[in-house]
Amino acid sequence: MSRSEKESLSRRDALKLAGAGLAGLAFTDMTGCATAEYRNVPAVDYRRDLIPENCRVIDVKTGKVQPTGSLRIRKGRIHALTADKGDTGKASAVDARGAYVIPGLIDAHCHSTISPVFGMNTLDLLRHLKMQRRQYELCIESGVTTIRDTGAFPGALQGFLRDIRNGKLKGPRVVYCNSLLNVQGGHPDVNPTDINLFAKPVSLFIGMAMTNFRDLKEMREIMRENAEGARFIKLTMDNKSVFCRKEDIPAYSDEQLKEIFNFAEKKGLPVAGHCHRRWGFRRALGYPFHSLEHMVSDELLTDREIEQFVRRKTAVVPTMTIAQCYLMEEAFDKLPEEYGRDEFIRQEISIRRNYLQHEAPRHCDPHLHGENMEMLRYYRTLGMDHLWENKKFLVNPHLYFGMLQKGRKNLLRMKEAGVLIGCGIDAGMPLSYFGGLYREMELLSRIGFKPLEVLQTVTCNNARILGLQESIGAVEVGREADLVLLEKNPLKDITAYREPLLVLKEGRLVHGKKGMNVPRARPAGKP
């Protein structure tokens, strides 16, 4: 048996083990009990239609706000939108108290089976696994009812999805690619065993987030296997890592890319490409990518390149917040002058500091956040010039400073040219915590997106990118009743997304703001 056959067999066995529930043992809540299905929500009789009353629906396509009225939800879908307060008959009503109703939010770029920490302490493995479970709950609690997982540990992912389906875990709808398809040594070019001693044996149960290949034969085997259950393919187009390395890294050959896109066409799978650099962007122009992830950060794109991109009808999910996360002045003794003179950079550094010190602990395990902050202090002692020499993996801050300098200009020009812009935060990466999609939305607003444009990125635009534009992404009759109720109008106050009042997924109330004291549901038409 060849090496590739052995590795392929081990991957298949890992998925089978996970499917049999063996891997699920690792993801049980630390108490040994299943997570409570729904918390802080009113009691609703779902044998009846559900009617949220006294609500104002926002049309995400036009920005028009419907006058106070009601929604009727039947069998998990929106059945009717009326100007009436409700109707008689056997239905359950919930008083929305004049709240603004928008579609459930969609995060188009995240990694739900990866813990958002720099380093992984071997002794903290179980704590990390618990955090991954909690990440799905944080999505729901922040109004995110659908996510696009752009690189996961397949075995772990299937265990979590099974718990969501069975009601043991409160979580969003998940569109996934399984593992990242990767050239041997390509981005992110990190050996898991350099991070955690248990990485290799644990991978037998949870799978690998990157499927490295060495030749076309091995790539074909991996693609066939990785496509099982997947809704898209993810690969990287850059020849430089986002981690602190000076030298170029391996990238796909033209022969390999043609093979991938031929396979994708036969399977009907869109292809998403990781792209931080102009080098990768130029190569991507030659292939029918469905979306490019992140934003070109090292150079300004030319008008001709943007025109070519528009003709390709490729979408962009910019993940600008990840740049803010990694504005690491900690990596320098003194902030380089080219960045220190940039007023926008200084503003974002200030916002980042405030978030890390005050807001971030609410969105993750305080212990894990503390570990991240400790790692930042440690990197400060090493200095930028010695990180790769000591095999310390710190994302390259130069890249992310550039993302908020050149990257934001590239993004605005793309928007003005008519490129479909999505929204995601790369949650699962260090310092980017689930529950923080609002940060990306607020950053887009500061960059120059109008409030309606921001709302569209996380609803109808993201729905198109996921291929679910007929079922989610708008509050319309016939669509899934994924709904978020906000106290303030998000078209006038960009901070409205921070604390949803109520969140519904497929017509079920899955989260209520703590202390809201929502009345119990009652038959419609009764006082």
Q: What's residue 204's pLDDT?
A: 59
Which run of H or of E encompasses 306?
helix 303-312
Domain 49-103+473-523 bears CATH identifier 2.30.40.10:
yes
Q: Which of 519, 523, 490 is nearest to 99 (CA)?
A: 490
Indicate the residue type of 85: K
Instruction: Give 451 or 389, the one with higher predicted confidence.
Output: 451
Instruction: Report d(CA 281, CA 237) in Å as an integer.
Output: 7
Q: Which of 103, 81, 181, 100 is nearest to 468 (CA)?
A: 103
Instruction: Give 88 or 114, the one with higher predicted confidence.
Output: 114
Q: What's residue 24's pLDDT?
A: 40
Q: What's residue 190's pLDDT?
A: 67
Whether the pLDDT of residue 91 is over 80: the answer is no
Q: Which residues on adjacent β-strands are paired with residue 80?
A: 72
Q: What's residue 401's pLDDT?
A: 93
Q: Which residues on adjacent β-strands are paired with residue 144?
A: 105
Q: What's residue 527's pLDDT?
A: 42
pLDDT tens digits, one per residue of 106-160: 999 999 998 888 766 656 667 777 888 999 999 999 999 999 999 998 988 999 9
- CATH superfamily, region 105-120+131-466: Metal-dependent hydrolases (3.20.20.140)
The lowest-confidence range among 33-42, 136-145, 414-423, 452-461 is: 33-42
| E strands in 111-198 | 144-149, 173-176, 180-183
Q: Which of 381, 344, 437, 428 is nearest to 141 (CA)?
A: 437
Q: What's residue 112's pLDDT?
A: 94
Work out the pLDDT band at 207, boundaries 50, 70, 90: low
Contact 55, 78 (CB under 8 A): no
Q: Which of 247, 39, 257 is nearest to 134 (CA)?
A: 39
Calculate mean pLDDT across residues 53-78.
Answer: 92
Phi, psi of 411 (to 5 degrees): -65, -45
Instruction: Give 16 or 144, the one with higher predicted confidence.
Output: 144
Calculate mean pLDDT across residues 239-266.
Answer: 90
Instruction: Report d(CA 390, CA 418) in Å as an integer.
Output: 45
The lowest-confidence range among 65-79, 115-129, 468-482 is: 115-129
Q: Are strands 56-57 and 49-53 parallel, antiparallel or unpaired?
A: unpaired
Tokens representing 120 are 């992984």
Calculate mean pLDDT across residues 282-289.
Answer: 97
Calculate mean pLDDT across residues 458-477.
Answer: 98
CA angle 85, 67, 463 (to 5 degrees): 105
Scanning the structure block, which residue is given the tokens 């002045």?
329
pLDDT tens digits, one per residue of 169-191: 999 999 999 998 888 888 877 66
Phi, psi of 81 (to 5 degrees): -120, 120
Number of Cβ within a 10 Å radius of residue 310: 14
Q: What's residue 514's pLDDT?
A: 58
Work out the pLDDT band at 524, boundaries 50, 70, 90: very low
The lowest-confidence range among 202-206, 471-475, 494-498 is: 202-206
Q: In the 8-state DSSP scheme, what is residue 150?
A: S
Q: What's residue 512's pLDDT?
A: 87
Calculate mean pLDDT across residues 267-279.
Answer: 96
Calculate mean pLDDT across residues 239-250.
Answer: 82
Instruction: Report d(CA 152, CA 147) in Å as an integer.
Output: 12
Whether the pLDDT of residue 105 is over 80: the answer is yes
Share of the chain above pLDDT 70, in %: 81
pLDDT tens digits, one per residue of 211-222: 778 788 989 999
Which residues, 6 or more positions from 351, have their beta carbon under 8 angstroms from its beta carbon? Answer: 324
Rg of the Cα atoms in the chain: 23
Domain boundaries, the chain: 49-103+473-523, 105-120+131-466
Report for 242-246, 492-496, 505-509: range of highest mean pLDDT: 492-496
Instruction: Report d(CA 344, CA 387) in Å as an integer.
Output: 27
Instruction: Report d(CA 504, CA 482) in Å as an integer.
Output: 5
Calculate mean pLDDT across residues 270-291.
Answer: 97
Whether the pLDDT of residue 233 is over 70: the answer is yes
Whether the pLDDT of residue 303 is over 90: the answer is yes
Q: In the 8-state DSSP scheme, what is residue 302?
A: P
Q: What does pLDDT average to over the chain?
A: 84
